[in-house]
Amino acid sequence: MDKQTKIDKLNEQLTIFFNTINQIDATDSQADKLDTLLRESTDLSFVSPLAIGMSNFCKRQFPKEFSLEFYILFLLMSLKLDNGDICIRLKKDSLLELVKEKILLGDSNLETLWEAQFESLLEECLTFLLNKDVKKSQLINCQACNDSPLVAFDFDNKAEARVYLRRFYQYEENVSAFIKGRVSSVAEIDNETIEKYKAQIAMLFKDETNSDGQKKAVALATLSPFTVICGGPGTGKTTTVLKLLLLLLANSGMSDPRILLAAPTGKAAGRMIESIQSGKGNESLKATALPLFKNEDLYNQKLKLIPDTASTVHSLIGIYPHQEVPKYNPDHHLPCDILVVDEISMISLSLFSKLLDAIGPNTKVIMLGDKDQLSSVEPGSVLSDICCDLNTPIEDNLSKILESMTGFSKEQFLEQFGQSYTVGKYVSLLTFTHRFSDDSKLGNLAKLVNQAHADQDLNREIFESDLLYENKEVLTNHNLINPRVGSDEIIFNPVEQGDKKAISKLSDLIAKTMVDYYNPRDKAKTGFIKLLVDKKFVISNEDFASKANNPFKLLDEFRILCSNKDGDLGVNALNEAVSKKLKAIYKQKFDKNSTEYKLLADDVFFPGQVVLVTKNDRNLNLDNGEIGFVAYSSEEDKENSKARIFFPPKDGNKVREISPERLSNYTQGFAMTIHKSQGSEYQNICMVLSDKLNPVLTKELVYTGLTRAKPRDTNDKVIIVSNKEVFLQAIVKKVERESGLALMLAK
């Protein structure tokens, strides 16, 4: 369906919608007219099944109270949840903007026809909700009650008045109660213990510069049963938590605390373990930490308590399909003394609440994340809300203890960043990056994106500086690793808005660039495709054991990250383009009569195809977001066309081989959305943004995409493909999700 047809259809539906609404009045037949509206709603594209379901439920349960206003409220609530919001703030202007974006699709003609009707409808609805004593209703009630489907929050303050679906209110209340309860239970600490920790922290960081933030984070986490260490890429979150764990283990006495590690996705969990294992094997860390322990044997014994495996949050607490209550819950707590959870910005409110329910009262909780990254695709912005703790200075008593433990003054601790502090009662903000030097173009670009001004004209400094190497011909050249590009690590390839022919050509060039990275012209280099060709599609354990030419490492050398799934520059189109070029390369390498050539006939699973898992699969031990590739494990399997999908090791086990027939929830993974890439890092990236502004293009999306790149040398590149004006608009559009969690935590 083209855009105009969609607009015409929507116009017809809106006519029916308002004709039906205009017939509803306060007569005895109001219930019948509401029935008619609900029946017709099933055919309205802008009314979700959730809105219809909630309306039907409440009409049955509360026939005397259900009215048109509540139907409109459910319609708005479903739009809000789809937008990532937790609740509805009862403000006409913001709700009208929601309607214009989600129902009227930002179309100027539709807005001209229907904006006034929606504005009038919203005004009537808000007058009803705010002026009627709804807090005594069975349908919508105050937060102190627990039986109404809706919760009225802060109705006494109309400027902050919100309405929740009850379960979402309970999630926020649960999270707030957990954090407040843990923070309030910070134990008193004597001077002798403070001095001991001071000496130990100084020892752990004695050879490091710019470690003030890390010391502060370790000190705060030592004191508190709940702490969040927040910071961007390369700020040392994993290093900090590893030193913190060693400090806790050194002071655990004869006991062996049980430690569990987790992250929202399999990829994030895997990367967390890579960092932990690398740190545990670091001789420099050993040299600084060893004096904390009596001898090397004790050090090695305690070090083994830090796991070499990490779970997804779903697996950790035991969330399984068709199971109402997780395995670990308020009545059955996780068997651990210390829990570390990484990448918490990716966790939805509902999952976060369930995770906290599973934590026992004596478990120390340490959470890591980057507040500037994208929030969960599901409703909520947990980390952003929790970081409200940084908006107020810490109490004098805590400040004095931290000063004593670290040797830093209160003034240093309260060093301001804009309107925020670098330490709160339970949140530490790491600001110094060890990944990027002061002159790193990628690091400075990420910083500028985060600091983008409301005035777009001021942001043009990004293009006027030397941060970006703007060149339309770079992709045409394909082979980016060459002297012509030099040491410019960020290349901006401009896109003309709406130029279908140019965009189609650009899609082809992006695909060829990826294939060229996987199949380098330099004979001394091995790429992913080159390896598979050399091995004639048969991959052995020796290949996976290789440090330099491990297939998974080669696969992560380049990745296409897109803002959108659909469109000429979306994930689906680029995956198809890469697949086509990949097969063309293979056909050049093999004889038409060869076994290898014949295997390319399979359009679904062919050698070298990258596979992205889209749903957790407990039976196959696969997590949503995991990436594998298609190849053969033996010559016999190849001759019999028995392909395998290889996935990286998990939980200390060997590489996993999955038969394609067993995989049900997957897509191609050469290109992926920036959302899906969270928790991953790639040596080179091509970040492709839609040529037109759309709701997903935000500051957080651009920042998250940029920080997926982890260049290893000057030849590594970040390619940005975008319309210049769209890019500038995106970086000033900040995601702001409606919730009440920050307010609850602040009370």
Give me the pLDDT at residue 610, please. Answer: 93
Give me the pLDDT at residue 535, please. Answer: 92
Which of the four pLDDT bands, split at 50, 70 and 90, describes residue 471? Answer: low
> DSSP readout, 150-206?
EEEESTTSGGG-EEEEHHHHHHHHHHHHHHHHHHHTPPP--HHHHHHHHHHHHHHTT
Tokens of 72: 């409109």
How many CB atoms lie under 10 A from the CB of residue 375?
Answer: 24
pLDDT digits (tens, 9 = 90+) for 162-216: 899 999 999 999 999 999 999 876 667 888 888 999 999 989 888 777 777 888 8
pLDDT digits (tens, 9 = 90+) for 616-634: 887 888 888 889 999 999 9
Query: Which region among 101-115, 456-470, 584-598 has the lowest average model confidence (pLDDT)?
Result: 456-470
Give me the pLDDT at residue 485, please. Answer: 43
Which of the four pLDDT bands, split at 50, 70 and 90, describes residue 34? Answer: confident
pLDDT digits (tens, 9 = 90+) for 424-439: 889 988 888 877 777 7
Region 528-554 average pLDDT: 90
What are the angstrom distances between the C-alpha of 622 and each of 94, 272, 278, 365, 611?
A: 41, 17, 24, 26, 12
Helix, coil or strand: residue 472: coil
Which of the four pLDDT bands, split at 50, 70 and 90, describes residue 479? Answer: very low
pTM for the full model? Answer: 0.90
Rounded to whole angstroms, the Cα distance separating 645 from 246 reads: 38
What are the angstrom distances between the C-alpha of 388 and each of 22, 158, 393, 747?
A: 44, 22, 11, 11
Tokens of 550: 């491990």
Give me the pLDDT at residue 417, please. Answer: 40
Region 658-681 average pLDDT: 91
Q: Tell me which residue has tokens 């987790």.
A: 262
What are the angstrom distances between the C-alpha of 4 and each of 18, 49, 107?
A: 21, 25, 10
Please, what is the average pLDDT of the chain? 86
Rounded to whole angstroms, the Cα distance separating 730 from 36 reads: 42
Give me the pLDDT at residue 651, please. Answer: 66
Residue 740 near residue 86, CB atoms below 8 Å: yes
**Which residues have a Cβ under 8 Å from the Cβ of 351 and sit 6 or more positions away?**
264, 313, 314, 319, 376, 378
Give me the pLDDT at residue 73, please. Answer: 94
Region 320-342 average pLDDT: 91
Give me the pLDDT at residue 171, please. Answer: 95
Is 80 exceeded by the pLDDT of residue 404?
A: yes
Handedness of CA 224, 228, 231, 236 (dihedral sign): positive
Task: Give the chain's count of helices (H) and strands (E).
Answer: 32, 23
